[in-house]
Structure 1
Amino acid sequence: MSERIKTYREFYQFYLTEHSKLGTRIFHFIGTLLVFFVIGYVINSGKERFLWYVPIFGYGFAWFSHAVIEKNKPATFKYPLWSLISDFRLFFELLIGQQKFRGINTPKQPLE
């Protein structure tokens, strides 16, 4: 059995290697973007019944990309909180250009 990752800094490096393919990053980005759209819609409309789309979009797009594109097991199962934080972190790093959709970049200032 492999040893558990002890710091978030180590985990994020691992996370990036598990999200190295273009398709995986695109699917994660789209899923996270849809999560923000749904939350914004619920806030503006008051229609809380649409909140059930959040895990469907958030996990559905991500898990599909891991199974079909990356062909690995999502880190969510072993590191749920760090994985969730990293999903949002990667989304924003892709959005501002700190990460690229193709390849793996080393973060400039990793969180600990």
Structure 2
Amino acid sequence: MDAVRYQSFAAFYPYYLDQHDHRMCRRAHFIGTSLALGAIAQALVSRHAWWLLFALACGYGGAWVGHFFFEKNKPATFGYPLYSFRADWIMYWQMLTGKLSW
């Protein structure tokens, strides 16, 4: 993690995007987040909470695959968990809407 401590989300988000420069990392994030959303929906429909564990595994699994195998860096979540959670959803939305390539 950089020695810099980000004091605002606006300052953090460019760093977050820089940590997701590799297209396959962003794709792994997108796929993992999409699967997590599906698992959350399934948990609500089926009323089986174990789907929420699957959602966590998908979300974090996709991110970790992207970082460890493609980006070759440590996920920003380890140093900035709240900013990273927010940034991941913004990045997901930007990929979904075509504002960021995936």
1:6: Cα distance to partner?
A: 1.2
Report what 1:65 is aligned to. Answer: 66
Aligned residue identity for 1:27: A
- Alignment deviations for residues 20-77 of structure 1 (CA, whole Å, 9 cap, x no partner): 1110010000000011000111111111122111211111110111011000010001
Report what 2:99 is aligned to. Answer: 98
Report what 1:16 is aligned to. Answer: 17
Q: Which has the higher contact order (CA 8 A, sep 6+)?
A: 1
Give the share of equivalent positions with the same residue, in percent: 37
1:3: Cα distance to partner?
A: 2.4
RMSD value, Cα: 1.1
Unaligned runs of 5+ in 2: none
Report what 2:80 is aligned to. Answer: 79
Paired residue total: 101
Instruction: Give the helix-richer structure, 1 or 2.
Output: 2
Q: Distance in 2 between matches of 1:32 and 1:6?
A: 26
Unaligned runs of 5+ in 1: 102-112
Runs of 4+ in 1 over 2 A off after TM superposition: none
Q: Distance in 2 between matches of 1:66 and 1:42?
A: 27
Q: Distance in 2 between matches of 1:34 and 1:66?
A: 18
**Normalising to structure 2: TM-score of the pair?**
0.94
Q: Distance in 2 between matches of 1:74 and 1:38?
A: 22
Aligned residue identity for 1:17: D
**Normalising to structure 1: TM-score of the pair?**
0.86
